[in-house]
Structure 1
Amino acid sequence: MQAFKIKEKIGLDKTFKIAPFRKHIRHTEPHKHKNYFEVIFLWKGDGIHQIDSARYPIAAPVIFILKKDQIHAWDMVSEPEGFVLIVKDEFINHSKDTELKALFHLFWRIEQLPLQHDVLHTIRTLFESLYNAYLQEQRFQNLIIEGLLKSILGTLLQEGFKQDLDNRYLDLYTLFIDQIAAHKGTNRNISFYAEKLNIPSKALNDICKNITGKTAKKMIEAFTLSEAKRYLQFSNLTISEIAFRLQFNDPSYFVKFFKKHAGVTPHHFRAFP
């Protein structure tokens, strides 16, 4: 049984795509995309962009970051202008630039990034250059695309991340996020992930605190909570069915977990998301 509506905006034979944001888009039903990361850059437009249970006013210029499996919907009231950038896991995994994957994972906690007007020209120029490189097939096209993509991500992270990051931990942090995403937060045991990374649980906590300011446990719980909210808001699964999908042995334990972290019961959240 498919719990969520799925839309794909990229062909099976492609791992990367950049295109102008479609101006005629006004309203979409909640849906998700599979196995790709999406960066949406809007320099014009008004309305609401819903990502999971959060509703963000569209105040251009703005960047929206969609991670794989997130559910989103548009409700626009004016004509938008911008770019949509789609990157599949295969593109990141096959890249010869080992820093690219770590850069993508640093966006874990960013969904909306308002842009200051002093960086708008830089961001727009980078996106336009990337779009032109994507359209023009040439010998070193992939290298040019990866270079421009890295410049975009770095510039955005400079806006979104103000604290210093310890580069020694980025690879392990990236692997940790991969593991949580692969298990969709269903395994909430820190030692399980630490063992997979071949490091002590304390070291994993220190890495997460260094990069995100949160403990590994908090990050795992956040993944579980996000997945639970998606099921509650966008599927017809019962509370018990959701609990078992998330590998809670007892639905009552799931209810306690949800209320502790969301502040309301699953029933209340489903009725008033």
Structure 2
Amino acid sequence: MGQEQSRRIHTFETTIPKHDGLGFEIDKIHGNYKYDEIASQLTPHTHDFYFILFVKEGSGFHFVDCEKHKASGYSVFFITPGQCHAYDPRLMSGYAISFKSDFYRLNKAIEKIYDFPFFHTTLSSPALQISSDNLRIPSLLENMHQEFGKEEFGRQSLLRSSLEILLVELSRLYGVEEIKKETIAQTDTKRIRKLECLIDTNFVENRQVGFYADKLNLTSRHLNSIVKKGTGKSISDMINARVLAEAKRMLLNSDDTVAEISWKLNFSDKAYFHRLFKSRTNYTPEGFRDKFLKVH
């Protein structure tokens, strides 16, 4: 096994239990669970599928990549494969959707999933609060749940189409919130989103600003100016944020030593990784692991 192949990021893969080979599942959350039924969801975990949680009624919190978000009525959460999260289904009712990228994409390019602003991002929030007057989203979810329980002709196609509609509808609602923050042209917003996607797929092997500027056919200076104006961050900040997000996930979801995590993240110097982590989080990697796992 070559060095490049063995340096893959480790992700805990979990199956979608009821998908019948579809790569898709929608469950109703009813709050009435025994502990052993939901124990795995109470502690930080990752999986290899996309996950959407719609809380129709409830309280409590949803921890996503170590950030605490209130899980109240009509809140929606978006989890990208590999993201670390934990929540208590006993404190809420609503719907949970799990789907594999292959189910959504079918014949679409892999980049299609990146069109949605709430997946594969370190800049935007994984949470969305929608109005309780919005009847369309819960109605769409209920229709999807009913269809999922059927064994009829066209079930897969209907569910895939419904998922597309849901993602577009939620993107529009998400965009209404994000547009309030916009201070730059739409073209530059798209460039920043494209940069995020490039970083998400290349951050382990490529951390040079010039690599990403070349991919976007811009000079490093021009791209940095766009990013700074639109986000208040530098490109290096974005790269480091993605690296640290992965480091946190690995610290909480593997038994790898700090040295092993440092190596898998392509740091030639463990001490530098240690300094970077502490400067950005105020914790050593070991201290972060101990503190957060004790919380859960």
Sort the TM-score into its range (normalised by shorter chain). Answer: 0.7 to 0.9
What is the count of residue pairs matched by the alignment?
269
Match of 1:32 in 2: 46
Query: 1:199-239 CA distances to partner (integer Å, 9 max, x unpaired)?
Result: 22233334434554433221111111111112223322112
TM-score computed with the length of structure 1 as normaliser:
0.79
* 1:191-210 alignment runs, 5 A limit: 191-209=210-228
8 Å Cα contact 2:30-2:90 kept in structure 1: no
Assess, with a 3 A threshold, how the Cα gap between structure 1 residues 139 and 237 changes in structure 2: closer, same or farther.
Answer: closer
Match of 2:15 among 8, 30, 39: 8
Match of 1:124 in 2: 138
Residue 90 (structure 2) pairs with residue 113 (structure 1): no
Match of 2:3 in 1: none
* 1:171-210 alignment runs, 5 A limit: 171-209=190-228
Moved more, 237-246 or 130-139: 130-139
8 Å Cα contact 2:75-2:129 kept in structure 1: yes
Task: Kindly state the Cα deviation for residue 12 of structure 1 after the two structures are TM-superposed.
Answer: 8.8
Please, which runs of 5 or more residues in structure 1 have no aligned partner? Answer: none
| CA distance in 1: counterparts of 2:221 and 2:119, whole angstroms | 21
Query: 1:235-265 CA distances to partner (integer Å, 9 max, x unpaired)?
Result: 2211211111111111111111111111222
| CA distance in 1: counterparts of 2:67 and 2:95, whole angstroms | 22
Assess, with a 3 A threshold, how the Cα gap between structure 1 residues 145 and 6 changes in structure 2: closer, same or farther.
Answer: closer
TM-score computed with the length of structure 2 as normaliser:
0.74
* 1:89-104 alignment runs, 5 A limit: 89-90=101-102, 91-92=104-105, 94-95=107-108, 101-104=114-117
Residue 167 (structure 2) pairs with residue 149 (structure 1): yes
Residue 175 (structure 2) pairs with residue 163 (structure 1): no
Residue 100 (structure 2) pairs with residue 81 (structure 1): no
8 Å Cα contact 2:64-2:85 kept in structure 1: yes
Task: Kindly state the Cα deviation for residue 57 of structure 1 after the two structures are TM-superposed.
Answer: 4.0
Task: Kindly state the Cα deviation for residue 73 of structure 1 after the two structures are TM-superposed.
Answer: 2.2
Match of 1:244 among 219, 239, 263: 263
Residue 29 (structure 2) pairs with residue 21 (structure 1): yes
Match of 1:268 in 2: 287
Query: 1:19-61 CA distances to partner (integer Å, 9 max, x unpaired)?
Result: 4336436432432111x33221111233343223223343223
| CA distance in 1: counterparts of 2:16 and 2:119, whole angstroms | 24
8 Å Cα contact 2:277-2:283 kept in structure 1: yes
8 Å Cα contact 2:29-2:89 kept in structure 1: no
Task: Kindly state the Cα deviation for residue 7 of structure 1 after the two structures are TM-superposed.
Answer: 1.4
Query: 1:129-157 CA distances to partner (integer Å, 9 max, x unpaired)?
Result: 55567667379845564234312221233
Q: Aligned letter for 2:283?
A: V
8 Å Cα contact 1:133-1:144 kept in structure 2: no
CA RMSD in angstroms comes to: 3.4
| CA distance in 1: counterparts of 2:72 and 2:156, whole angstroms | 39
